[in-house]
Amino acid sequence: MRRFLRLVAVVPFVLASACIDSSKAPAEAALKAADDALVAVGPEASTYAPEAVAAVKKSYATAKELIGTKEYEGALKAASGIPAKVQELNAAVAARKAEIGKAWTDVSASVSATVSSIKGRLATLAKAKRLPAGVDKTVIVKATEEVANVESGLAKLAEDAKGAKIAEAVAGAKALQAKGEEILRSLGSQ
């Protein structure tokens, strides 16, 4: 009878261990799949979607911690969604990259057009017999220097745009566009 009671007392522990062990393999497999999915996250993801990268890494760390504490069901829940989140992250990065690329194309074309307008206006003023009111030789000299600075700034930003600094290049080109418009106004163009 004692043997039977001991056996009955041990059975719940054996069953509990079996349940824990039955969750362990799927949890570890989900963590491995999550780990493999994280490899697919490109280095530029942190540049284009830093919040999403942080969220995915946090989920992964939580799953890994739960496996370490043998909370396999929680680890399975935390790790199983990571591959889908990585796919969403990669799609968001591609969309953001395309959006910034288009913004760069648009703003750099706009700056180039403004530079052409400034040069055209300077050529017209150079041929003019009389300068318009508010425009004198010092304004023309200053505008000539400033348009050269805008051109060289755009060339530098174009190099930055080829690398990982495209967002900064877009912001810099917007500033150059504003400067170009200011130069045009100083030359009497509206």
Distance CA 8, CA 20 (A): 19
Q: Tell me, what's the pLDDT at 12?
A: 46
First to last CA, the chain: 104
Task: Give the pTM.
Answer: 0.70
pLDDT of residue 115: 95
Q: Count the alpha carbons within 13 Å of 72 in the hemisphere toward its beta carbon.
A: 14
104 CB contacts (<8 Å, ≥6 apart)?
161, 166, 169, 170, 173
CB 137 within 8 A of CB 126: no
Give the integer Cα–Cα distance in Å for 84 and 62: 16
Q: What is the pLDDT along the chain (190 residues), one digit of tens a residue?
A: 444 334 334 434 443 444 446 788 998 898 888 888 888 887 788 888 888 889 999 999 999 999 999 999 988 898 899 999 999 999 988 899 899 999 999 999 999 999 999 999 999 988 888 888 888 899 989 999 999 999 999 999 999 888 778 889 999 999 999 999 999 999 887 5
CB 85 within 8 A of CB 55: yes
User: CA dist 21 to 17, 30, 83, 162, 165, Å?
Assistant: 6, 15, 24, 51, 49
Q: Where does the chain have alpha helices with state H?
A: 2-39, 45-48, 50-68, 72-80, 82-127, 137-162, 166-186
- Please enumerate in sequence order all residues whose Cβ is within 8 A of that of 189, keeping only pairs 6 or more positions apart, or say none: 117, 121
The full DSSP string for 82-99 is: HHHHHHHHHHHHHHHHHH
